[in-house]
Amino acid sequence: MRCMENQEQLKWMNRVVVLSLALLFFNLPHTLEDFATGAPEEAGIPATVLATVISIIFFLQALGLFWLGQQKKKGLYVHVFLGLFWPIASGIAQLPVIFNSFNYRAGMISKAYVFGMIIVGLFMQLSAIKAIMAKPSN
């Protein structure tokens, strides 16, 4: 596997790492809140199925961070996927509930988790794409 030698890629890759860690700040507590409030059962999804899927997603994020630490481009591709997955998943599952009810779970902090996942996830995806597309430096 080829390591990145491009300074522009490294700059954007470092941003992806920081954004990935920031995404964990939002998606870990939100996921715990989902299970604490019984959201999987309300949606008709067995908790064990959702727990398995979420565990795989967190594993991919950790693996992507590991690859980025090794300066491997495939870590960027993982983060492009994650930067799309988290905003879509949280947006589809949570935004209708947030916009259609006055009280959402624990209030503003719960909303911050959702909006944080969406915003940070999208910035992470864009940063990963920018790193992939960076032109080689001379």
Within a domain: 55: yes
pTM (two decimals): 0.89
Q: Is 132:13 a contact under the CB 8 Å cutoff?
A: no
Is residue 1 scored above 50 in pLDDT?
A: no
Within a domain: 40: yes
Q: Is 136:6 a contact under the CB 8 Å cutoff?
A: yes
What integer is the mean pLDDT of 94-118?
89
Collapsed DSSP state (helix, strand, coil) of residue 46:
coil
Q: What is the pLDDT of residues 15-69, one digit of tens each?
A: 999 999 999 999 999 999 989 988 888 889 999 999 999 999 999 999 999 999 9
Output the DSSP codes for 57-93: HHHHHHHHHHHHHTTBTHHHHHHHHHHHHHHHHHHHH
Q: Which two tokens stand for residue 72?
A: 């491997």
Q: Rounded CA gap, 130 and 100, in Å?
A: 35
Instruction: Report the domain count for the chain.
Output: 1
Domain extent, residue 110, equals: 7-133
Within a domain: 35: yes
